[in-house]
Amino acid sequence: MSNPQTEFDSPWKDILELYFSEFIHFFLPVAHSEIDWDRPPEFLDKELQQVVRDTELGRRMADKLVKVWRKNGTEIWVLIHVEIQSQDEADFAERMFVYHYRIFDKYRCPVVSLAVLGDERRNWKPEQFSYQLWETSVSFNFKVVKLLEYVDRWAELETSQSPFAIVVVAHLKAQETRSDRLERKTWKIALVRRLYEQNYSRTEVINLFHFIDWVMSLPEELEQEFWQSVQQLEEDRSMPYITSVQRIGRQEGLLKGIELGLKLKFGAEGLAVLPEVAEIKDAGLLEVILSGLETANTLAEWRSLYQSPDRG
């Protein structure tokens, strides 16, 4: 079974960077109206690594440190922590505190801490770190979003226009269907259909699909059925957004395979004809050309697979 941390971290990291304004609007609306969105947020990955690199608190791919500006000109650093691990972490709140004070100590800038918990434990929601001794006390509170709680807010997710409503549904259904891939296929198709029903732009459809596709992986047979459904959906709507990207990716993969085969079998002479093969857009023909490298004895024999007589 795949590690839930690695299964979800990378897509969450990507979607955070693509839709940070929408992320804040969905999960921290009180801050969204005070931020000057005319000034693009700055993602401070190197600064975050400098702060936490000497800790023993673990590597968190999805952690993000983002610089934004309030409308009054104040610079704010927002620490976003996406926690997907399924095992208990007794020191989680302490880790949030350590990250927070280290960032403040190093950069002397107000820091807002937000944790998104994508685990499957309803009763685990650390929101505070504190200690007290004699007449000294420290209390640190931070914003926590528990994705599992959206199960009880399903109507809100279904009616929301935010891309993060789709992200949350995909995340929850990916967890729920981990042992039922047929049901996962059904939900994956439903989410893709929703991308088109929400009238997202082509870029938004593709970006959100990448998240859905990553977290809701399917075995090969169901994957083929899924793509058939997507193709039919896009044909019905005359909007081949996703399948066009898939086709381009498939062509690029086939061309890389052909390039390697030409190099190994025919050397520099073989690589010299690669540009003419790159002009071919038919993925089916490219598959024939790739497999033909195994049986062709000469370069001329191999080229005959795609050259018409009048082009020979």
The 8-class DSSP code of residue 35 comes to: B
Reported as a single tens digit per residue, the pLDDT across 193-206 is 888 888 888 888 88
Checking if the pLDDT of 97 tops 80, the result is: yes
Q: Residue 205 has which token pair?
A: 């459809």
Domain check: are 233 and 262 in the same one? no
Distance CA 211, CA 12 (A): 8
Domain check: are 274 and 296 in the same one? yes
> Residue 299's Cα: distance from chain center in Å?
42
Which of 210, 245, 242, 243 lies closest to 14, judged by CA? 210
**Per-residue model confidence (pLDDT) at position 7:** 53
Q: Is residue 91 part of a domain?
A: yes
When pLDDT is cut at 50, 70 and 90, the band that residue 275 belongs to is confident
Domain check: are 216 and 280 in the same one? no
Q: Which of 220, 239, 258 is the last residue of a domain?
A: 239
Distance CA 111, CA 44 (A): 13
**For the chain, what is the mean pLDDT?**
81
Reported as a single tens digit per residue, the pLDDT across 63-96 is 788 888 888 888 777 777 766 655 557 788 988 8
Distance CA 212, CA 109 (A): 35
Residues forming beta bridges with residue 113, ordered by sequence position: 79
Contact between 27 and 113 under an 8 Å Cβ cutoff? The reply is: no
Distance CA 145, CA 167 (A): 14
Q: Residue 290 has which token pair?
A: 């790739």
> Residue 159's Cα: distance from chain center in Å?
22
Domain check: are 107 and 143 in the same one? yes
Q: Is residue 193 part of a domain?
A: yes
Domain check: are 23 and 124 in the same one? yes
Domain check: are 277 and 192 in the same one? no
**Per-residue model confidence (pLDDT) at position 195:** 86
Tally of domains within the chain: 3
Q: Which of 151, 186, 219 is the last residue of a domain?
A: 151
Domain check: are 231 and 265 in the same one? no
Domain check: are 191 and 224 in the same one? yes
Compute φ and ψ for 121, nearest 5 degrees.
Answer: -110, 110
Domain of 196?
177-239
Checking if the pLDDT of 304 tops 50, the result is: yes
Compute φ and ψ for 52, nearest 5 degrees.
Answer: -105, 0
Q: Is residue 140 part of a domain?
A: yes
Domain check: are 203 and 285 in the same one? no
Q: Which of 201, 218, 239 is the last residue of a domain?
A: 239
Reported as a single tens digit per residue, the pLDDT across 121-166 is 888 888 999 999 999 999 999 999 899 999 999 998 988 989 999 9
